[in-house]
Structure 1
């Protein structure tokens, strides 16, 4: 691990791994100071509360490696102690159900990031896999309440129209925590140059993923393709609002992807990724130091590398969460 990587605050804007001690050990190996870890996608309110309770127990049981992160001070402390700060996040507002009061309740539990939709329609708006009806009236109330309590609005799997309306409706900047550019690969989950520019122009943030189905060369991709994608985004929006959002699914098998890619409403098959192979050189969370080395090999300045590894996320978290 290079000194630059070791000294940097490294943040992963999205991990949906099957969390256990081995993954936490890998986070340490990768030098992660913090990660936004998914605790809810299709689960309702009670099941999500159960997921949170279980994860908090897991964090307590592995307190030598991880700690719960509710703010940036917690992330700084985790880094100083050689631990990883676990940020609780949702990939769908489904668990809010039709009750605005649940939003503050979840914030009290430690939830700090919520993606509005997961691929399809919900009470808030529309996902990226179907005709986009935009943000609902309830969706506007949800965003206002998320702004008030300090939960980040994530739009990674959200449809284009709903995203645009959410960016304009939110009084706090919003993010694509894990996306890739459409300019490198045409895929419903990827964002156009115009969409990337629009969120950045409104103070928003872009976490770039390395999920191979969305990368230019798919399962043939390497860590160099990931750096190329980050570079592409930086060339459009600049280096101050871009970070990492790997979308690591470490530890999960076929059954998990089967659950994720079926819409809960009608059990429709949305997509089939087949076998997902992470880019060579960054196969696991522990390989993050290779990413820094590849950025250095690509001629990136130390300043740019430090920003993209996590300094940009830290500034953004402060804006959205408050202190």
Structure 2
């Protein structure tokens, strides 16, 4: 089977896309052969603004039903593959939208939200992000984790502090994930995870999606798709071939103002970080170039079985564990 044939045949899942919602993006998802993606609909927004985002996103999906379909179950991912469409999973990068209402968790689950990151870079009512002193999971946070477990919503720890992450991993009765991270063993950065953290989440049944966000890659803006594959292999050697997948963190279509909003606490307060130039690795600059990743994994010497797992099968399995059949 050629790399192209393998890519066309495989389930391809991106565990994190925060690109600009427009038809051009959805067309590029189809060009790239994406079976499904976890698409961010909330970062700093509260309940109402997040519902408004979902309403707008749903309207775009309805307009573009020739390209995409909603995903509530892993059976919907299979259907997307059969229909030649991309399945859209709604995801949050912050538990902010739950506000102080545990009941909102189930409401958002019914709206199609399948993955929620507990914190985005800073403190919220659940716990602490990776850019400030980490006090761990709050009592309210424990209740949120229990409710997410109950309704079948995956806990994501990508931007979460080390203490809070560890406590969520221990608290959750379902697998949790770093949907989009890189190893600090290749580059020290507050957003990257240590070998110990990667091993701990895997040892406790969790999952790691690997990002290609160049500020966190060893080669930075000079990175290529092969540098991304180096990071995937590095993490796979720690967590094993069953606990790893893709979570690109594609941001295509967004302008500088969007990144200013992302990198300030609450979207407007103190500056948390500065990314500098945002450019994806050469060879996978856009979602449409996804087939190049399959080819690069094979070129690295990975087996067809490993490539299928990394590109999507592992995500399907862990989502089934969390969401139920």
Q: Fold-level match, TM-score > 0.5?
A: yes
Task: Tell me the equivalent position of 1:145.
Answer: 147
Matched, 1:102 2:107: no
Displacement of 1:266? 7.1
Tell me, in whole angstroms, the C-alpha distance in 1 between the residues paired with 2:237 and 2:99. 39
Task: Tell me the equivalent position of 1:164.
Answer: 166
Q: Per the alignment, do residues 228 and 48 of structure 1 end up closer, same or farther by CA in structure 2, a change over 3 Å counting? A: same
Task: Tell me the equivalent position of 1:316.
Answer: 318
1:247 to 246, 249, 257: 249
Task: Tell me the equivalent position of 1:123.
Answer: 125
Query: How does the TM-score come out when normalised to structure 2?
Result: 0.98
Q: Tell me the number of residue pairs that the alignment of Structure 1 and Structure 2 aligns.
A: 323
Q: Deviations over 1:236-288 (max 9, x none)?
A: 11100100000000100100000000002870000011211100000000001
Structure 2 unpaired stretches of 5+: none
2:114 touches 2:152 (CA, 8 Å); kept in 1? yes
1:25 to 20, 27, 36: 27
The secondary structure found in structure 2 opposite 1:171 is coil
Q: Per the alignment, do residues 266 and 40 of structure 1 end up closer, same or farther by CA in structure 2, a change over 3 Å counting? A: closer
Tell me, in whole angstroms, the C-alpha distance in 1 between the residues paired with 2:267 and 2:299. 47
Tell me, in whole angstroms, the C-alpha distance in 2 between the residues paired with 1:51 and 1:236. 37
Tell me, in whole angstroms, the C-alpha distance in 2 between the residues paired with 1:69 and 1:175. 18
2:9 to 7, 10, 14: 7
Matched, 1:231 2:233: yes
Query: How does the TM-score come out when normalised to structure 1?
Result: 0.99
The secondary structure found in structure 2 opposite 1:268 is coil
2:120 touches 2:129 (CA, 8 Å); kept in 1? yes
Task: Tell me the equivalent position of 2:156.
Answer: 154
Task: Tell me the equivalent position of 2:285.
Answer: 283
Task: Tell me the equivalent position of 1:48.
Answer: 50
Matched, 1:69 2:63: no
Task: Tell me the equivalent position of 1:217.
Answer: 219
Q: Deviations over 1:187-218 (max 9, x none)?
A: 00000000000000000000000000000010
RMSD over equivalenced CA pairs, Å: 0.8
1:135 to 118, 134, 137: 137
Tell me, in whole angstroms, the C-alpha distance in 1 between the residues paired with 2:258 and 2:276. 12
- Dislocated runs of 4+, deviation >3 Å: none
The secondary structure found in structure 2 opposite 1:3 is helix
Q: Per the alignment, do residues 265 and 211 of structure 1 end up closer, same or farther by CA in structure 2, a change over 3 Å counting? A: closer
The secondary structure found in structure 2 opposite 1:130 is coil
Task: Tell me the equivalent position of 2:115.
Answer: 113
Task: Tell me the equivalent position of 2:298.
Answer: 296
Task: Tell me the equivalent position of 1:271.
Answer: 273
Tell me, in whole angstroms, the C-alpha distance in 1 between the residues paired with 2:239 and 2:301. 19
Task: Tell me the equivalent position of 2:185.
Answer: 183
Q: Deviations over 1:214-238 (max 9, x none)?
A: 0001000000000000000011111
Tell me, in whole angstroms, the C-alpha distance in 1 between the residues paired with 2:276 and 2:239. 32
Task: Tell me the equivalent position of 1:37.
Answer: 39
